[in-house]
Amino acid sequence: MTSEQKKAFLLLKLVIFNYHGLDEEEKKILTETSIKINGEEELAWAYSILGDDFYANLDKAREFFNQTIATYDLDTKVSYLNIVWDSTKSKGFISEMEATGILKMAKDWGVQKELLALIRKPTH
């Protein structure tokens, strides 16, 4: 993963987790993810993009996504969204706001049908 891809992935995760307010468990998941992908600097960058006012700075995140993720292939877009979906479920729940945020991103990126097919698959 390039630095730009790490930024996009971690920012996506941070944006989705922030839809209802970032809690300690979600911060832990973000930190663990950044360590796993060697992206601690990219996570710090993602936090700086959103700053203290998530909703006021959401446009900055969308602009970054339009410049980066919009250029990624279909499989990568779906993969990022599916991983974030699974991360939210790993907390034991996925809030309605998180689900809506992920589905809205999928629609914006033109991969809603593909993501829905993945998340509807039975997982046994």
pLDDT per residue over 21-77, tens digit each?
A: 888 989 999 999 999 999 999 999 999 998 887 778 888 888 899 889 888 999 999
Whether the predicted pLDDT of 124 surpasses 50? no
| Predicted local confidence at residue 39, as pLDDT | 96
Q: How far apart are CA 95 and CA 73, in angstroms?
A: 28
Q: Please give the C-alpha separations between residue 14 and each of 51, 81, 103, 113, 120, in angstroms, as whole numbers.
A: 11, 12, 15, 23, 24
Whether the predicted pLDDT of 81 surpasses 60? yes
Q: How far apart are CA 19 and CA 101, in angstroms?
A: 7
Higher pLDDT, 43 or 91: 43
**Reported pTM:** 0.88
